[in-house]
Chain A
């Protein structure tokens, strides 16, 4: 565990300033008595309490994240610190005042009154000080968490963009387009339209969180059309979307990574290519989406290689539907793979 000693020193100085302030207020109430004893008592109690609570809290494993031990442990530490600070600090300050003669010729005091006052002051000051440090620590912790979350989100967005705009895909597509411009300008225009739609969807997918199943299938068609021009007869595809499901909302480009996996790991390594079927089905109150291919199937490399795509789909499903969404991925030895996801229909 790393302890930030500069922050600790700051805490100590703040505590000492607070103690002096408390002593000054005490002195202001009873100016006829000497100034030294309240200062000594206040500092001794304050510093010991600070040492126990501020240094002690780092010894608890649960304090690693937030800076404070979780639950009752934290409360116990504070109470223990204040009580121990009171007892030890009193003894220490009493000793110091006696040996240096700071009590001087102060008038004798009512011991019951004195005891009640000092306990009250210690408790109030201890709670106020602890609360101050606790809330500062908490807001720093929350700020840190928020920065982390923001970073995580933008990293995920960047990663999604990076996979969608994979340079091999991009430059091969452009090379095909260049070839078509000379050979078949009309077909080139069709290809360019698909490419524009694909790029637009990819770039806006990071902004909108959901769209209709119809839009999802249209984007898949753009992508598959591009790939069909590139792969020629090696790619055949079918999209099956019943009209009554067309308006169902789904997270944007949810199916895209699965279709890409099918092409990259299923069809592309296979000389004869194959076919991809994407379908949507209603099963009672559930929506089932399926991506099936007749590609190379399981080749050992799949779990790590396509890991990102699958993990990303799983994460997005969980974020949108919680534990009610399921996804199942099966790759066969004999060839072919099937990804099936199910989540509640929205009515």
Chain B
């Protein structure tokens, strides 16, 4: 048996002092761990993780541009097949996601300020997981599925309760100087685009300013499915879903020519009955 390769890690934390502190604590708890990079925002975390392929990711949950949860979901989407997905550890100042429930699962978390004893437990778990992986004892697909499953739950927990707001019936769109009332029944899908959301019907496209995050709780989850961070589709308008060579899902919508990418996070919606 060849010796275990040197374990590698990436830290994503937007507060520089906290990134340094975590690095110092890790050096004490796990001297062999090699830190590949430290980044300060979610988008760079995804890019650097894809480029460096570390074994372990420490993601702060609140980061600019892309939250730690969103970054992890995006990373899972773009992660090449055949390479083991890194072990995820979320670092958060406040336990708002009731993360205790996940303590024994694939995704771990550490509370800030990071306590040495707690970090030691996390390190032991990570070492165990890496050892399993080196022995080939880990099912890569199942591991990724587990991780996605937990990300889905965590992302779900960070959304407001749907019952708190009135359901949407019409979308008010400003067109020039007037307001156009677009019945929700005509909408095929919503797509986030920078600071706007595109609203697409069979014949038209409108832009609204209400972010997708605020629209989502006001849509009926049975008729509108989120299929990507920035895409929500009317389920009954979905025509077909196809998988390409790289294993990525995309779907086509009745009445429109465009193809929509389906995130791995939501791929579970499209299993054959």
Contact = CB atoms under 8 A, between A and B. Distances in A.
A179 B18 CA distance: 7
B24 interface: yes
A178 B251 CA distance: 49
Given A301-B211, A301-B213, A232 B94 contact: no
A12 B202 CA distance: 68
Contact of B64 (A171, A182, A271): A271
Given A171-B93, A229-B17, A268 B211 contact: no
B16 interface: yes
Given A299-B211, A300-B209, A180 B17 contact: yes
A59 B195 CA distance: 52
Contacts of A186: none
| Main DSSP-derived SS at the B contact region | loop
Contacts of B111: 171
Contacts of A231: 14-15
B239 interface: no
B113 interface: yes
B94 A167 contact: yes
Given A230-B17, A269-B64, A172 B112 contact: yes
Contact of B20 (A183, A269, A299, A333): A183
User: Counting chain A CB atoms within 10 Å of each CB, which of B14, B41, B111, B211 scores highest?
Assistant: B14
A168 interface: yes
A304 B164 CA distance: 14
Contacts of A270: 64-65
Contact of A304 (B16, B94, B209, B214): B214
A232 B64 CA distance: 14
Contacts of A232: 15-17
B209 A174 contact: no
A70 interface: no
A167 B93 contact: yes
B152 interface: no
Interface string B96-116: 100000000000000111100
B211 A172 contact: no
Contacts, number: 75
B198 interface: no
Contact of A269 (B65, B93, B114): B65
Contacts of A179: 17-18, 20-21, 113
Contacts of A229: 17
B236 interface: no
A231 B21 CA distance: 14
A304 B111 CA distance: 29
A175 B93 contact: yes
B210 interface: yes
Given A179-B18, A232-B16, A298-B195, A172 B93 contact: yes
A218 to B, nearest CB: 24
B62 interface: yes
Nearest to A267: B64
B43 interface: yes
A299 B195 CA distance: 6
Pick the most buried of A170, A174, A177, A234: most chain B CB atoms within 10 A of its CB: A234
Interface string A286-299: 00000000000011
Interface in B56-114: 62, 64-65, 93-94, 96, 111-114
Interface string B179-217: 000000000000000010000000000000111011000
Interface of A: 167-168, 170-172, 174-180, 182-183, 229-232, 234, 268-271, 298-301, 304, 333
Interface of B: 14-18, 20-21, 24, 40-41, 43, 62, 64-65, 93-94, 96, 111-114, 195, 209-211, 213-214
The 10 A-B pairs with the shortest beta carbon distances in the complex, nearest first, are A179-B21, A175-B113, A171-B93, A175-B112, A167-B94, A178-B113, A232-B16, A172-B93, A179-B17, A300-B209
Given A180-B17, A271-B65, 16 more contacts: A171-B111, A171-B113, A175-B113, A176-B15, A176-B17, A176-B18, A179-B113, A182-B21, A183-B21, A232-B17, A268-B64, A270-B64, A271-B41, A271-B43, A300-B211, A333-B195
